[in-house]
Each structure stands twice: as C-alpha cells, then as structure tokens.
Amino acid sequence: MSTVAESRRGIALPALGHDLTRASGIGLGLAMTWFSLLVLIPLAAVMVTASTTGWSGFWSVVTNDQTAAAIRLTVTAAAGVTLFNVVTGTAIAWVLVRDRFPGKWLLEVVIDVPFALPTIVAGLVLVSLYGVDSPLGLHWANTSMSVWLAFAFVTLPFVVRMVQPVLDELEADVEEAAASLGASRFTVFRRIVLPSLVPAIAAGAALSFARAMGEYGSLVLLSGNLPFESEVTSVRILSAIENDNRAGAAAIASLLLLISLLVIVALDIIQRRVARRG
Amino acid sequence: MAEVRRHRNGPVTYALRLAVVAYLVLLIGWPLALVGTHAFENGTEAIRGIFEDPDMVAALRLTAVAAVVATAINTVFGVAVSLLLVRNEFPGKRVLSALIDLPLSVSPIVVGLALVLVYGGRDGWFGPTLESAGIEVIFSTPGIVMATAFVALPLVIREVVPVLKEVGTEQEQAARSLGASGWQTFWRITLPSIKWAVVYGVVLTLARSLGEFGAVKVVSGNVLGETRTATLAVEEKYLNFDQEGAYAIAFLLASVSVLAILIVSVLRAIGARQATR
C-alpha cells in the first residue's frame, strides 16, 4: 500500500498498534483542527472577552440586581430539580428494570422524549398542559414554578439512563442472601442496592444539574422571562447579546462555562473511580 | 435473568409503579398528546397551511439542510475520534476525551455567543478575514450548521466508543496479517462491527440537530425566508398569536423526534434479542 494514498485517506484509518501511525496522526490533526475551530477557540473567546473588563467589571456584571436574581433562581431550581431527579430517576429506573407490566415499553420510549424533542416544542407542550388553558387548572406559566417544571422535563432522562444499566447488571444473589437472613426489602435496598448505584446516580445528577443551568429553549414560551420572577441566566446572556453588550454577555457566560467545566471534571473523577473498582 | 430477580408483587411494587406512570404521564405523555390534538383542532388545515406558506417551507428546508450537513460532519468526525480514542495512545488523550463531552453541558446561548465572538463578521476574531474572503458565517447558513454541529457533537462518539472497546482488535489484526490495507480493514471489518452504534448515533444526532433552538437563535439573525429555521418559526408564530401554526410546526418536529426514538428503541430490542440468542 502506498503511503501517499494512505495519508490522503488518513482520517478514517484504524490503527492497530498503540502508537500513532502516520495516517492516524494526520487523522488526529484534522480532528483536532475541526474541534478547535468549532469548540475550543470559540469557548476560549468567551473567556478572553469576559476578562477584558477585568475582575471589577466581571463582578459588577454578575452582581447586578437583575442578573444576580436570575443566577440565584437558576442555581436554586437546577439544584432542587437535580435532587428531585435523584429520587424519581432512581425510582423510575427501578420500575423499568425490576417491575413487569403490559405497556412498559411505552415508558421506555417516553423517558427518551426529552432528549430528542426540540426544546422550543418542549416549552410549547408544557404550556398546553400548565399554561393559561390548563385542563388541570394549574396556571404555572409565567411564574417561577414554570422554571422548575421546564428543568424537570428536560433533565428527566439523565439519572434514569445512568442508573438503569447498572441496576440491570447487579447480581441478585447478595440481595437474596440478605433477604433470606431476614433483611426487609427496604434494608436490602438501602444497604446493598443503593451503594452500588451511587456512582451512576452522581454522574446522572451532575449531567442533570449542568443541563438545567444552561437551559433556554423550553423556557421561552413557558416562563415569560419576568425579571426577578422567572428569568434565568441564559435569558440574561441573550438580552446582553441583543443589547450589543458582548463583554457583559461573556462575563455571565464564563460563569456558566466554569460550572460546565466543574461538572466535566466531577464526571471524569466519578468514572475513573468506578473503573478502578470494577 | 430478569426472571430470577423478580420479587413477589407487594403493595410497594404497585404504589411505585403507579407513581412512576402518573409522573411520566403528567410531565411528558399528556403534554405531548396535547400538541397532536392542538395541531389537528381544525382537521389538517393547520398542517396544510404550513406547507402552502413559502416562508415556512423555506424554514423547514433550511432546518433539514442544516441538520443533514451537521449530522454528516459529526458522523465522520465522531467515527474518526472514536477510533483515535480507543485504538491509540497519545498525549492529551484524557483531556480530549473529557472535553468531547463539553458541548452537552454548555448552554446553547453560550454556544451561540462563542461562535459570534469568533466568526462575527464585524468584530469577531476570524470573522472580518473570512468576510473579506467572501465567506459569511454568522447570520448565514454556515453559522447555523456550526451551531447545530456544536450542540450535537458528542452523540456519535458516545455510542461508538463503548462498542469499539468491546469488539477488540483481533479481527482487524487477522485481516491486516492476511494483507488487507488499512482502508480495506476499516470498510470490511471495523465499520460493519460498529454499524449499529453509528446508526444510533446518526439518528440521535439528526433528531438533536433538527431541534436546536437557542444556539441557532443567536447566530442566525432570524431573517424570514432566509435564516429562520423551523424551531425559530415556532417561537415567532406563538408570540404573534398564531397558536395553531405554532402547534402545527411543533407537531411536525415532535413527530420526527418521536420517530427517531422509536427507530433506535426497535433496533436496540432487535440487537438485544440477537445478542441473547
């Protein structure tokens, strides 16, 4: 095989060894170039633009009354919904793995809907049940409840989908041994099942928190974006962009980016700990 | 396996089942069904209205084009990066593998802002240079494609990497030792073994790409008939009190995403059945 042809086709060539062949080196170069142009350089631009105003500029932007209120609401709702997901997500995963009833496959499909449904459509569907014409009589649109509702919708699958495979792999014999020695079902769950689920739950919670912190699309039609009431951080960034205040937008955005980075690091640590144990 | 683990059905089992079903119906099932009923309140008139409006047809076409291009880019990039991450050792591999997941947890608005700061025609880092070369990124289709590709970036990789790890390199090594070129090995051995993972990744990427809203809103400029995508049209119609039109486009978008989930879950079920056989 000619090396010229190989290098031209480089990007998709699999290398079998552990060291980089010339072809996969070229592939790596191309992939990294695209990744930098698309993701790394733009995200760096956010950080650099935020730093142009200095620490005092940054501080005055994020402590502006309206912005601080938006950040407080976003953090509170994201943390609250994440805690809620830890409980409900584990319960849902438990039902999907351990329970059997007709129509269960439908639940499997429903769980994935928030992943694939466009966020603007998610907002619209929530308005139809919890908005002005609510068949339930719940008028949550344009209140801070709408933020909790939208976060709960878009983050639903994270904990479920992390916990489900782990629960599926658990061996039954330890649980059976505990039960035969007289442990109640609750004790078995708390002492035997739960400890092995903790890393998966933590990973799901981290993803869920990060997703909620940056959520925008599902809130546009639902929350009304009322300052001090239902306005979230992303909306503040967007209004800064629309007012051509790029430094201000970048300052708030860099705060969100920092949280995303922390989540990524937390996930990496959790996954490494699990890999070492397994 | 599931048989062995089954506990007797006590009241707790039924209570939990009921609570989970009720929660999912209230949060997802019922609202989703309402979109269907709202879209067809006056029969098929609302949907027909969308297809008769040239601006809406343009919006749907732009969404489809952006999603297909972004998916194609992410598929090639995703398969290549998965191979590099699984089959090679190189400095910075751990950092790359962690950073790849970053787009999933970055706010779409931040994605849009980031792209504007670099590719903005007036005062972006690269924007003015590209503009003088005749390439407009922001407020134009390339910007929409980039925003879409950004938000869906890790989806193919997350599907392909675990499968690549599992299949190992034995067959590839056998093919290579029998004289197959790297290219032949990739097409005949590697690609067929990760085929389904790639298909899941592509379907999920396509669904995610069709629905991107926040990032596209920032980079597109939202010009009617030119850079307005289908998701932006949903917002525009709803805010202009054309609820029926908004629900009609929402219904079209929701159908595609539900279809995507159904395809993946059916393929997964078939795959699982073949694996246990």
User: For residue B203, what is the enclosing H or E element?
Assistant: helix B191-210
> A127 with A145: CB under 8 angstroms?
no
Statement: residue B69 has pLDDT above 90: yes
Instruction: Name every chain B residue with its beta carbon within 8 A of the beta carbon of A162.
Output: none
Domain range annotation of chain B: 54-276
Q: Which residues contact A26 (CB under 8 A, 6 or more apart)?
A: A7, A10, A11
Nearest CA distance, B214 vs chain A (angstrom): 6
pLDDT score at B57: 93
Q: What is the pLDDT of residues B28-47, one digit of tens each?
A: 999 999 888 888 888 888 88
Inform me whether the C-beta atom of residue B80 falls under 8 Å from chain A C-beta atoms. yes
Query: Exposed, middle or buried: residue B251 (CB in 10 Å: 0-12, 13-18, 19+)?
Result: buried
List of residues 6+ apart from B193 with CB closer than 8 A: B163, B167, B171
The answer to whether the Cβ–Cβ distance between A98 and B114 falls below 8 Å is no
Candidates 1.10.10.10, 1.10.287.70, 1.10.3720.10, 3.30.70.980; correct CATH number of A54-277? 1.10.3720.10
In the predicted model, is pLDDT for residue A79 greater than 50? yes
Q: What is the percent of chain A with per-residue pLDDT over 90, rounded to a whole number?
A: 43
CA angle B103, B106, B110 (to 5 degrees): 115
Q: Determine what percent of chain B is predicted with pLDDT higher than 70.
A: 95
Q: What's residue A1's pLDDT?
A: 36
Instruction: Return the CATH number of the domain spanning residue range B54-276.
Output: 1.10.3720.10
CA–CA separation, A241 and B128 (whole Å) = 19
- State whether residue B12 sits within 8 Å of chain A by CB: yes
Closest CA to B155 of B260, B253, B28, B60: B260
- What is the per-residue pLDDT for A19? 55
Q: Indicate the residue of B183, B218, B258 with minimum beta-carbon distance to A9.
A: B183
Which pLDDT belongs to residue B9? 66
How many C-beta atoms surround the C-beta of residue B218 within 10 A? Answer: 26
Query: What's the rounded mean pLDDT across residues B11-15?
Result: 86
Give the CA distances from residue A92 to residues A86, A153, B108, B182, in Å, rounded to whole numbers and listed in that order: 10, 14, 28, 45
The answer to whether residue B133 scores a pLDDT higher than 80 is: yes
Q: Distance, in angstroms, between A242 CA and closest chain B CA?
A: 9
Q: What is the pLDDT of residue A5?
A: 38
Q: Does B228 touch chain A (CB under 8 A)?
A: no
In eight-state DSSP terms, residue A21 is: P
Task: Report pLDDT digits (tens) over A133-192.
Answer: 778 878 888 888 999 999 999 999 999 999 999 998 887 788 888 888 888 888 888 888
pLDDT score, position A133? 78
Where do the structural domains in chain A lie, given as residue ranges? 3-50, 54-277
Write b or e for each residue in A212-250: b if 16 or more Cβ atoms lie within 10 A of its Cβ, otherwise e: bbbbbbbbbbbbebeeeebbbbbbbbbbbbeeeebebbb
Q: Tell me chain B's radius of gyration from C-alpha atoms.
A: 23
* Residues B165-219: tens digit of each pLDDT: 888 888 888 888 888 887 888 888 888 888 888 998 999 999 999 999 999 999 9
Q: What is the average pLDDT across A92-113? A: 89
Our CA-based measurement puts residue A180 at a distance from the nearest CA of chain B, in whole angstroms, of 13
pLDDT surpasses 90 at B253: yes
CB pair distance less than 8 Å for A98 and B10: no
| Alpha-carbon gap, residue B276 to A202, rounded angstroms | 30
Q: What is the pTM of this model?
A: 0.88
Task: Please indicate whether residue B226 or residue A60 has the higher confidence score (pLDDT).
Answer: A60
